[in-house]
């Protein structure tokens, strides 16, 4: 594949390395120094663009790529209040858009485990649920997109919880998400169910960024010749 990398920070550089090891050609790299070039990629023979930037730039980047009929795999979080606009644009353009808050295969299996446990634990009212997420000090959004995805499924299936808050809380109806930022942490997400007599912990620990980068490249390989809107749930169906 001919791949465009949008965002050339630590993730972008790792994605480039993974692409090259899998025999793909990185034909275009867009970063802050040449950001306007994203509007003129029509003639670059790009099969797919992988976008990992910042929340404020993700929406215009995706819009520009979809407008040029370039399939997009996006991993930027904290912009999805505009998701409906992107979905409408993809439908109108007969385009291709793949979004996940986290591309780690392990994390997406963790999502499935979280959904199952949330359904199960809803039957046991003595247990309260809370969350914690830890990331590197350079991560801007808080809670993380992964934490919000986990929280969404807990709120969907836990009848006691109606909203989340990014702090400790005494309110039974609020799901507490504690966010911590520490040096050199790729990502740790934990869910705690605590009752009067015992405590259950479910934790996913990312060892490095390579897992996220590999997942995004695998998603790009899978989606680049498809049309529509996709997620990691769609990608994982091929293994079921």
Q: Which residues are catalytic?
A: 135, 139
Pull the structure tokens for residue 55.
């929340």
CA-CA distance, 105 to 235, in Å (whole number)? 10
Question: Where do runs of H (alpha helix) occur along the chain?
Answer: 10-21, 55-67, 83-93, 105-121, 145-157, 210-223, 232-236
| Residue pair 148/83 in contact by the 8 Å Cβ criterion | no
Q: Helices (H), strands (E): how many in the chain? A: 7, 11
At 73 the three-state DSSP class reads strand
Q: What is the dihedral of CA 171, 189, 218, 64, to 10 degrees?
A: 50
Residue matched to tokens 């996709």: 230
């Amino acid at each position: 594949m001919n791949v465009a990398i949008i965002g050339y920070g630590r993730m972008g550089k790792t994605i480039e390395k993974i692409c090259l090891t899998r025999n793909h050609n990185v034909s275009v790299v867009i970063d802050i120094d040449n950001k306007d070039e994203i509007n003129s990629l029509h003639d670059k023979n790009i099969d797919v663009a992988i976008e990992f930037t910042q929340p404020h730039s993700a929406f215009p980047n995706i819009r520009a790529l979809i407008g040029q009929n370039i399939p997009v795999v996006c991993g930027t979080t904290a912009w999805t209040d505009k998701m409906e606009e992107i979905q409408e644009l993809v439908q109108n353009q007969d385009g291709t858009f793949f979004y996940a808050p986290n591309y780690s295969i392990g994390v997406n299996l963790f999502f499935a485990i979280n959904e199952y446990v949330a359904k199960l634990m809803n039957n046991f009212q003595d247990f309260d649920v809370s969350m914690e997420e830890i990331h590197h000090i350079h991560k801007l959004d808080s809670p993380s997109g992964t934490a919000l995805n986990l929280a969404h499924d807990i709120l969907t299936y836990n009848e006691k919880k109606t909203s989340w808050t990014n702090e400790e809380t005494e309110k039974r109806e609020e799901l507490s998400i504690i966010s911590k930022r520490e040096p050199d942490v790729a990502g740790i997400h934990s869910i705690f169910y605590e009752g009067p007599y015992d405590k259950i912990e479910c934790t996913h620990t990312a060892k490095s960024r390579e897992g996220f980068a590999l997942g995004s490249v695998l998603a790009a390989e899978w989606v680049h010749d498809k049309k529509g809107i996709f997620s990691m749930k769609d990608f994982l169906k091929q293994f079921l």
